[in-house]
A and B are shown apart, each in its own frame.
Chain A
Amino acid sequence: MPVTENWKPTIVAFCCNWCSYAGADLAGSSRLAYPADVKIIKVPCSCRVNPMFILRAFEKGADGVILCGCHPGDCHYSTGNYYARRRMTLLFSMLDYLGVEDGRTRVEWVSAAEGVKFSETMNSFVEKVRGLGPNVRLGDLRCRN
């Protein structure tokens, strides 16, 4: 797909309610800009994110998916982010194998106090995805010979 100058990626960010969503709120109230391409979905915990959701996003045309949770050890539910980390490690390597490049997926720990980190993370992630260009949809892949 040709990358035009004005191409804007679609990026889905799953944020846990306790740390990262609050971190995104702090980025907002501190007016720390990041691209409008990022759309946040609130989940109670990073461990609520089913790999199916991420596959679905790519299937429907997302160009990048990022999952943000509490720092290891700080999970509101004690262990949720550890499950998320393991699941995403497996999923992302499988996605890479399928042709959804490694740079399109990311797990990042952002605490409620890290508005700056949230904004920086989103800026660098969007830049990375922009560099990779539009995602070849998983759905499209199946249709091609």
Chain B
Amino acid sequence: MRRIGVFVCHCGSNIAATVDVKKVVEMALLEQGVVHAEDYPYMCSEAGQSHIAEAIREKQLDGIVVCSCSPRMHEATFRKCAEKNGLNPYLVEIANIREHCSWIHKDMQEATEKAVILMRAAVAKVHLNAPLKAGESAVTKRALVIGGGIAGIQTALDIADAGYHVDIVEKEPSIGGRMSQLDKTFPTLDCSACILTPKMVEAASHENITIHTWSEVEKVSGFVGNFTVDIRKKARYVNMDKCTGCGICQEKCPSKKPLNEFNRGLNNRSAIYTPFAQAIPNVPVIDAAACIKLKTGKCGICEKFCQAGAIDYAQTDEIITQQYGAIVVATGFDTIKLDKYGEYAYGESKDVITSLELERIMNAAGPTKGHLERLSDGKAPKEIVFIQCVGSRCSDDRGKPYCSKICCMYTAKHAMLIRDKYPDTNVTVFYIDVRTPGKNFDEFYRRAVEDYGVNYVKGQVGKVAPQSDGSLLVHGVDLLENKQILKKADMVVLATAIEPNSDVRKIATMLTASIDTNNFLTEAHPKLRPVESPTAGVFLSGVCQGPKDIPETVAQAGAAAVKVIGLLAKDKLKTNPCTAKADELRCNGCSQCAGVCPYGAISYETRQVNDHGIREDRRIAVVNSALCQGCGACTVTCPSGAMDLQGFSNRQIIAEVDAICR
């Protein structure tokens, strides 16, 4: 019989206000094997822990139940406390009477009854807990960063500077991401490329960084410290070692129809292309869907002109397999599709554009060489309307329920830049709220209004109607004056909501990282562990975790890098000791467990067993505890009940069920 101590935490008033903690203590003392029970205002505090230590010593406890907050909060604290005092940490169980009880119930009697039942279940389980010892696994000292935008680049640079090797996988032909598409950045109006390209060059020339562009993560297996990743390097049809980046192939390529993705499809590019002038690597790729040679076998002009002999039409996709200790997701974002917003005439008129498209139009390398002009007729717009919150803050099925966070600031930036460069152009911004929390952000927005004369009107636009004369009639409202506004505009810019990159769900599934309903990756704790995924060894950088601007992205990228460095600095990691184990007397070697194990942790060996005096050689399942992650799939599959999961054994769970149903 175990000697169990029950410790009930008040958590200040968080628990004690709805759960009668004294009653829980009283009831605990009636449980079989409970030799000690007490309550304390803050069990997790130094003083609270010393109460536990004292009880372990004085009452020779060999099992502990702490009735407190979620085990996700303080299980580690109490296990450490037990270990320090000579008790195996796995002889500690938590009854979650805060998140699962006091915080959701109002009635004291009801909540107390439930707390008592949860305490009983934990006591019943702890009776059957076995002392477990964590194993160790080695750490591969190499990190993978998925995504080569500013988030990925910054994370990679920080990890590489600490002396660890980093691979960046980028699906586009160049690193740079969204930031490379921006013209200027708020609130300082730095030229985006001017501050980004030095970082791109630094990453490319860093001895600890390997960049795989035009590549995608294909498969991920393994676990923290020991991931194995397959990377598909898509056929580039250009030999990276030979190409000098002279660009003659792009000039001579006769296939000039494909839409230029980098310019958001506003103009065209050749079939062989580098997305932008400062691309890294400065090696073009051939778009197989548009290349005449690859489609019909005739052409080959680029090959003829390439003096370096770098064109290789026979190139095929290549799979690289590499080991990593940690993986950082930095997959970034895209703007949402606007096909559900018919009222804004986005698909109807060429002069209704998204803000990211305006960014390209205003950029010297963009479709209009940086001249602000209408895409329909090339005329300079004299009246521009900006519409904010297009698709953001929507609870209908057309948009996103969250605030995209960056739109207020970049709209102020666009408005200011246009008024600065084209003073005879009027700019009106229709807004719902202007949200400018951030250093120098509100000052920036006020400058747009006060110094640049941007006309801010409170009220969402109802409709944009293209007119026969080529202008756009904007049906708006001024809520402060309480009047409707009909405004003739030459150009309408939609501050389109952002959403996580479309590939992120696929990547999250491969990494078994959690993802929320908006496809943002979930952090391990929303406040205290914001750059870690709940999946150990997976870290988050940039907008894949939630909307953020460039300074925040860079800060988070650095934070993710620090977490990776902290992990890679360790030589060994403690593994989860709650692994599966087969009972050799019951196992009949049927192999069903091996079939369901997602980690290939189960193998078989022939071993002599002594079954009640009969010695015979039997084929028996053996679990590799370094590979087993403790999911328990095998335990349920096992037809003879030989397989059990340590820490969550059949008997333990049944004991909990019995305690709850009793």
Q: Which of A1-49 contact B (CB under 8 A)?
A: 10, 12, 18-19, 21-22, 24-25, 27-29, 31-34, 36, 39-45, 47-49
Pick the contact of B661: A12, A31, A43, A49 (CB < 8 A): A12
Q: Judge whether B508 and A74 touch: CB under 8 Å.
A: yes
> Which of B30-38, B323-331, B513-521 binds A?
B513-521
- B84-100 residues with Cβ-Cβ distance < 8 A to A are 96, 98-100
Give the docked Cα–Cα distance between A77 and B221 (Å): 10
A residues sitting closer than 8 Å to B (CB atoms) are 10, 12, 18-19, 21-22, 24-25, 27-29, 31-34, 36, 39-45, 47-53, 56-57, 60-62, 70, 73-80, 83, 87, 111-114, 119
B104 is an interface residue with CB less than 8 A from chain A: yes
The answer to whether A12 touches B657 (Cβ under 8 A) is yes
Complex CA gap A78/B510 in Å reads 8
B254 within 8 A of A: no
- CB distance A73 to B645 under 8 Å? no
Can you give 14 A-B contacts (C-beta < 8 A)?
Answer: A27-B99, A31-B104, A33-B104, A36-B110, A41-B657, A42-B71, A47-B632, A48-B645, A48-B653, A50-B653, A53-B654, A53-B657, A57-B657, A83-B596
Pairwise interchain contact B660-A19, C-beta atoms closer than 8 A: no
Q: Report the Cα distance A65→B514, complex, angstroms.
A: 25
Which residue of the partner chain A has the closest CB to B112? A36
A-B interface, 10 closest residue pairs, ranked by CB to CB distance from nearest: A28-B99, A48-B632, A60-B661, A77-B631, A113-B516, A45-B631, A47-B633, A28-B103, A25-B99, A36-B114
Q: B632 near A44 (CB under 8 angstroms)?
A: yes
Cβ 8 A contact of B517, one of A10, A21, A114: A114
Quick check: B631 and A44 within 8 Å, CB to CB?
yes
Q: Mark B95-135, 1 if CB is under 8 A from A, else 0.
A: 01011110111110011011001100100000000000000
Cα A111 to Cα B111 in complex, Å, equals: 25
Main secondary structure on B side of the interface with A: helix
Residues of B59-78 contacting chain A, CB below 8 A: 70-72
A31 to chain B, nearest CB (A): 6
Residue from the list B105, B517, B522, B660 in contact with A12, Cβ < 8 A: B660
**Given A22-B534, A36-B114, residue A76 in contact with residue B512 (CB < 8 A):** yes
Given A47-B631, A70-B514, A113-B516: A24 touches B657 (CB 8 Å cut-off): no
Residues of B within 8 A of A (CB): 70-72, 96, 98-101, 103-107, 110-111, 113-114, 117-118, 121, 505, 508-509, 512, 514-517, 522, 534-535, 578, 596, 598, 629-633, 635-637, 645, 648, 650, 653-654, 656-658, 660-662
Most buried by A among B99, B578, B596, B630: B99
The smallest C-beta distance from B468 to any residue of chain A, in angstroms, reads 48
A42 contacts across to B, CB distance below 8 A: 71
Q: B103 near A29 (CB under 8 angstroms)?
A: yes
Q: How far is the CA of A6 from the CA of B571 in the complex (A)?
A: 59
Give the residues in chain A near B637, CB-CB below 8 Å: 83
Apart from A27-B99, A52-B654, A111-B517: 4 A-B pairs, beta carbons within 8 A = A36-B113, A56-B658, A87-B636, A112-B522
- Cα A76 to Cα B632 in complex, Å, equals 12
Contacts A39-B117, A56-B657, A87-B636; is A24 near B100 (CB within 8 Å)?
A: yes
Min CB–CB distance A139 → chain B (angstroms):
11
Q: Which residues of A contact B660 (CB under 8 A)?
A: 10, 12, 39, 41, 57, 62
B515's nearest neighbour on chain A, judged by CB, is A74
For B100, the chain A residues whose CB sits under 8 A away are 24-25, 28, 40
- Report B646 CB to chain A, min CB distance, Å: 11
Complex Cα gap A51–B105 (Å): 30
Bound together, the chains give a CA A10 to CA B113 distance in angstroms of 12
Query: A45 to B632, Cβ gap below 8 A?
Result: yes
Q: Are B654 and A56 touching (Cβ within 8 A)?
A: yes
Nearest chain B residue, comparing its CB with the CB of A114: B517
Measured between beta carbons, the chain A residues less than 8 angstroms from B110 are 36
